[in-house]
Amino acid sequence: MVTKALLLRLEAKRGKEAEVEQFLNDGLPIVQEEAATVAWFGIRMGPSTFGIFDVFPDEAGRQAHLSGRVAQALTEKASELFAEPPAIERIDVLASKLPEPQEATAGSVGGSAGGRR
């Protein structure tokens, strides 16, 4: 169950749109290592407007993410990539629908034996 989220709005500097898109793509493998980041989305909302939406089970998970590698990289790259500082909104999740985690079965290694999606 998720109860906390973050929504970041990122406005790319003129000519930096491709770099912002790459930055978001490069962030995915990093957040996949964060146990408390339940879902993470790098999004494009317009020609030069991007964002990040991510959800967490609790405040501790959100704080861990804000102290993590993607947040650090965002801070380091902000003046180079963005026309203005990222707008960060802390959100309380009221309701959600997420995929159920797939459990490993006795005959499988590292995943589901199939069928359930």
Over residues 16-67, the pLDDT tens digits come to 999 999 999 999 999 999 999 999 999 999 999 999 999 999 999 999 999 9
Residue 103 in any domain: the answer is no
Which structure tokens are listed for 14?
């003129």
Residue 41 in any domain: the answer is yes
Looking at the 3D structure of the chain, how many domains does it have?
1
Residue 100 C-alpha from the chain's centroid: 18
Residue 40 in any domain: the answer is yes
Residue 108 in any domain: the answer is no
Residue 112 in any domain: the answer is no
pLDDT bin (cut points 50, 70, 90) of residue 104 is low
117 vs 99: which has the higher pLDDT: 99
Q: pTM (2 decimals)?
A: 0.83
Residue 11 in any domain: the answer is yes
Q: At 34, which CATH number?
A: 3.30.70.100
Residue 75 has pLDDT above 90, yes or no: yes
Domain containing 23 equals: 4-92
Residue 117 in any domain: the answer is no
Strands, DSSP E only, in the chain? 4-11, 39-44, 49-56, 87-92
Residue 83 in any domain: the answer is yes
Mean pLDDT of the chain: 90
